Structure 1
Amino acid sequence: MTKVAVVFAPGCEEIEGLTVIDVLRRLGIETKMVGLENKEVMGAHNIKLTCDEVLGDQLLDYDLVAFPGGMGGSQHLRDNEKLQQLMVQRNKNGKWNAAMCAAPIALAHYGLLDNHDYTCFPGINEQIQEEVPTARFHKDITVVDKEAKLLTSRGPATALAYAFKIAEVLGIDTKQLKKDMLYDYLAQNI
């Protein structure tokens, strides 16, 4: 069975993490909320999140690990050495990793964006380019780098697109759920 972990750090952008959890669980994908250091995490907008588990070596077993953004949360993700070791190992093992909004700063810090395509929140790309000049920024809503098995997205309004793209890179058909959630309607009419 396909398994996804979403890593929540203090100061995370709640909508970006919870949207992924919601969409993937609707699709029947086993999806866990993983606290960076504790099971309870306070988001950027003072929403207390209760995670299923705390970060550990089990992250190596997931088919995809996703990061929500939020500047505070992204900095915590970037600066956690244990998470860095696990994400680098996941990359070496050919596993999918995803980050959105400000969280690609963590992927850049880990060395995972070197010579790869990505997107992020406007302005964050300048920080990433300073750290990884060979990273290739795009303004698309979501960017998939199949070679690196990396998926990135822009910000809060792109959380649904990010969640659906996560499912799609894992081979899950999203067509019916997009219709049921009015995502297609939104995409055509906004």
Structure 2
Amino acid sequence: METVYLFFAEGSEEVEALAVVDILRRAGVETRIVSVTGDKMVTGAHGIRVEADMLMEEVDFSKAAMLVLPGGLPGSYNLARHEGLAEGIMQQYKAGKPLAAICAAPLVYGRMGLLKGLKATCYPGFEENLEGASYTGSLVEEDGLFITGKGPAAVFEFGYAIVAKLAGKDKAEAVRNGMLYNEVAR
């Protein structure tokens, strides 16, 4: 079974990581939080300690359904500097498999040149890192292999877009309804 791997670094945005994992697991999508620090306990951008499911060294990228990067500072920069993660991203990209990032984290894909010619969104002020992409400013943008999200307020739409991509629109709508999101978003 393929797995979604969400990568968590020191300073990653907790709500963007945990809300996405929660939404995916509600949809029945196998999802694992991966620490890129060498320790399963990682401190996020707002001082919340998160226990990852696994370490970077345990990831089998050949079994990845999708790679997801939460934003946050300095978390996004820490993800961008991780050579093993960059190698895994390139493996995923070359295999034609989906990738997602939210908030400041699309800078990882942008700096790697993977967003050239595509529409993308990110936290305002980080658009110069989306090298060659067309910045839309939308809450969520899907283009090619990529799903990008604007920031913390976009996390639900971002999570539902990932579910729709991996499990179908009906499953995404069922999770939205089960979480009462459609009542709030009216």
TM-score range, shorter chain: over 0.9
Q: Which structure 2 residues correspond to residues 1-190 of structure 1 after superposition, within 5 A? A: 1-37=1-37, 38-56=39-57, 57-126=59-128, 128-129=129-130, 132=131, 134-146=132-144, 149-172=145-168, 173-188=171-186
Instruction: Give the number of aligned pairs.
Output: 182
Q: Deviations over 1:48-76 (max 9, x none)?
A: 11011111351332111101000210000
Alpha-carbon separation, structure 2, partners of 1:82 and 1:140? 30
List structure 1 runs of 4+ shifted beyond 4 angstroms: none
Report the secondary structure of 2:167's partner residue.
Answer: coil
In the TM superposition, residue 182 of structure 1 has moved relative to its aligned partner by: 1.4
Q: Aligned letter for 2:19?
A: T
What TM-score, normalized to structure 1?
A: 0.91
Runs (5+) with no aligned partner, structure 1:
none
Alpha-carbon separation, structure 2, partners of 1:70 and 1:60? 27
Report the secondary structure of 1:71's partner residue.
Answer: coil
Q: Aligned letter for 1:4?
A: V
Alpha-carbon separation, structure 2, partners of 1:166 and 1:8? 17
* Conservation of the 8 A alpha-carbon contact between 1:71 and 1:103: no
Alpha-carbon separation, structure 1, partners of 2:71 and 2:62? 21
Q: Aligned letter for 1:32?
A: R
* Conservation of the 8 A alpha-carbon contact between 1:40 and 1:49: yes
Report the secondary structure of 2:141's partner residue.
Answer: strand
* Conservation of the 8 A alpha-carbon contact between 2:3 and 2:29: yes
Alpha-carbon separation, structure 2, partners of 1:122 and 1:116? 17
Alpha-carbon separation, structure 2, partners of 1:59 and 1:50? 21
Q: Aligned letter for 2:13?
A: E
* Conservation of the 8 A alpha-carbon contact between 1:11 and 1:44: yes
Runs (5+) with no aligned partner, structure 2:
none
Alignment RMSD, CA only? 1.3
Alpha-carbon separation, structure 2, partners of 1:112 and 1:87? 10
In the TM superposition, residue 2 of structure 1 has moved relative to its aligned partner by: 4.6
In the TM superposition, residue 101 of structure 1 has moved relative to its aligned partner by: 0.1
Alpha-carbon separation, structure 2, partners of 1:102 and 1:70? 6
